[in-house]
Amino acid sequence: MNALPGLAWRSLANRRYSAGLSVLTIAISVMLLLGVERLRHEARAGFLRSVSGVDLIVGARAHPVQLLLYSVFHLGEATQNVSWASYRAIAAAPGVAWTIPLALGDSHRGYRVVGTSDDYFEHLRVAGGQPLRFAAGTRFAELHDAVLGAEVAANLGYELGDPLVLAHGAAAVNLHAHDEQPFRVAGILARTGTPVDRAVHVSLGAIEAIHRNWRFGTRIGPAPTRAELARVDLTPRAITAFHVGLKDRAASFAVQGRINAQREEPLSAIMPAVALQQLWGLLANVERALLATAACTVLAGLLGMLTAVLATLNERRREMAILRSVGASARTIFALLLAEAALLTAAGVACGVVLCQLLLALAAPWLGSRYGLILPVGLPTPGEWRLVALVLGAGIAVGVLPALLAYRRSLAEGMSVRT
């Protein structure tokens, strides 16, 4: 029936305010649904991208998820440190190929500072085996050199050679700045799509150096001079955590067990992939609840559309009678109303997709800096298209009711409108 789309479209355009409201309701609910799904999907993918090729992560005894969160994602804090002696002992154990030490606790304008060694740039992998690459500059050469993650450099507008001052603690605005020992941007890393982008990397010695005249979080006495720093041993007394790469991956269980069982210092060794799964286990119910809520809003939107269409059904009995009189079959009436419901849903869904992209574009920077979530803005993923198809199907299913009512009434009344 080639007359249909034109008639359906014009009929809706005639009732543009009520139709527009239906479209808006559906659009907002679809925006929410897709937003939640995107968040779920990307958060999961983002987290999984962040760690690759690391067999174990070791820190002071803690819940595996907590250790994972602060060592990899820079979320939260460690309650205890790992002594340098324990670290060196494990690093020297047979079967350990490499380690990456991490000293956390300082920040720079809201971004975490990671004290580490050259092993970080040598051995860290992301997203299925990708090594770190430099967009500009090189690793630490001088004591006060800093290597910035891609996002830090981009958001704060840093270039090679620029100075920066670190602050003690992780707060965005900090009273306690290590301003007597400014740093210099020596390198900027290429974008990885992981928390590496949001970190400021300095050497372990540098962390020691800036804390020489600090005790319990406050400044005591004058800052050390350059000459003094050159003389003194800047080996750290403790670090926060470290990554371990084994010569033989198959030994992960055994090494993990030995580290966890040793009595010298309370340490936890975790397998990152397992800790990630535990994290997702914790979050699974939250995810499900979010998705269920979003689905309910879609349902509410569709029911709103149903109400709007049903409300107009009575007024449109004359329209139906006229159409019947010029030769439209009752089936055409059914199809007309169904087409209207389909058009409304389709328009709502299309607007919802667009709104979702806008919302994500607006929220992405905040989510990135606050929660470590990197949400790429782009066309919907296959999973999201599936949801879109579901909503379309639901809209058409909802449209069947008024269509059926109109069909039966049209059959019964013919061309006479009984008032």
Partner 1 sequence: MTACLRLLFFLFVLGTSAVAAEPAEIDWLKLLPPADLKAMQDAPPVDHNGPGAPTGFQFSGTVPEMDGQTGRIAGYIVPIETDAEGKLSEFFLVPYFGACIHLPAPPPNQIVHVALPEPIAMTDIYAPYWVAGTVKIQRHNDELGASAYAMTAATVARWE
Partner 2 sequence: MPAESPPPLLRITDLRFAWPGQPELLAIPRFELQPGEQVFLYGPSGSGKSTLLNLVAGTLVARHGRVELAGRDLAAMAATARDGWRADHVGIVFQQFNLLPFLPMIDNVLLPCRFSARRRERALRRDPALADAARRLLAQLGLDQPGLLQRPVGELSVGQQQRVAAARALIGAPELVVADEPTSALDADARDDFLRLLFAECAAAGAALLYVSHDLSLRPRFSRSADLVALNRAMAAA
Q: Which of partner 2, partner 1, none does residue 83 bind (CB under 5 to 8 Å by kind)?
A: none
**E strand or H helix that includes residue 187:** strand 183-189
Part of the chain binding partner 2 (CB under 8 A), chosen from 22-30, 210-218, 322-330, 390-398: 322-330
Q: Which of partner 1, partner 2, none does residue 321 bind (CB under 5 to 8 Å by kind)?
A: partner 2
Q: By C-alpha distance, which of 136, 174, 182 is closest to 158?
A: 136
Smaller CB separation from partner 2, 321 or 351? 321
Measured between its terminal Cα atoms, the distance across the chain in Å is 30
* Backbone phi and psi for residue 348, each to the nearest 5 degrees, phi listed first: -60, -45
Please select the residue that binds partner 1; options are 250, 285, 326, 378, rule is CB under 8 A.
250
Please select the residue that binds partner 2; options are 325, 365, 376, 389, rule is CB under 8 A.
325
Please report whether residue 13 would count as binding partner 2 according to CB under 8 A.
Answer: yes
Part of the chain binding partner 1 (CB under 8 A), chosen from 181-189, 266-274, 386-394, 404-412: 266-274
Distance CA 73, CA 43 (A): 12
Residues 6+ apart with CB under 8 A from 347: 23, 26, 27
Please report whether residue 53 would count as binding partner 1 according to CB under 8 A.
Answer: yes
Number of residues that bind partner 2 (CB under 8 A): 23
Q: For partner 1, what does the binding mask look like between residues 28 and 47, x meaning CB under 8 A?
A: ----------------xx--
Three-state DSSP class for residue 245:
strand
Residues 6+ apart with CB under 8 A from 187: 134, 136, 137, 138, 139, 140, 145, 147, 148, 160
Q: Which of partner 2, partner 1, none does residue 157 bind (CB under 5 to 8 Å by kind)?
A: none
Please report whether residue 404 would count as binding partner 2 according to CB under 8 A.
Answer: no
Q: Which of partner 1, partner 2, none does residue 371 bind (CB under 5 to 8 Å by kind)?
A: none
Assess contact for 396 and 338: CB atoms under 8 A: yes
Helix 330-371 with 382-413: angle, nearest 10 deg: 150
Name the minimum Å distance from CB 183 to partner 1.
33
Please report whether residue 382 would count as binding partner 1 according to CB under 8 A.
Answer: no
Please select the residue that binds partner 2; options are 175, 227, 250, 326, rule is CB under 8 A.
326
Site for partner 2 in 331-390 (CB under 8 A): 331-332
Please report whether residue 226 would count as binding partner 2 according to CB under 8 A.
Answer: no
**E strand or H helix that includes residue 46:** helix 16-50
**E strand or H helix that includes residue 22:** helix 16-50
Please report whether residue 330 would count as binding partner 2 according to CB under 8 A.
Answer: yes
Smaller CB separation from partner 1, 4 or 273? 273
* Backbone phi and psi for residue 108, each to the nearest 5 degrees, phi listed first: -140, 105
Q: Which of partner 1, partner 2, none does residue 3 bind (CB under 5 to 8 Å by kind)?
A: partner 2
Please report whether residue 18 would count as binding partner 1 according to CB under 8 A.
Answer: no
Please report whether residue 257 would count as binding partner 1 according to CB under 8 A.
Answer: yes
Q: By C-alpha distance, which of 254, 271, 258, 176 is closest to 215?
A: 176
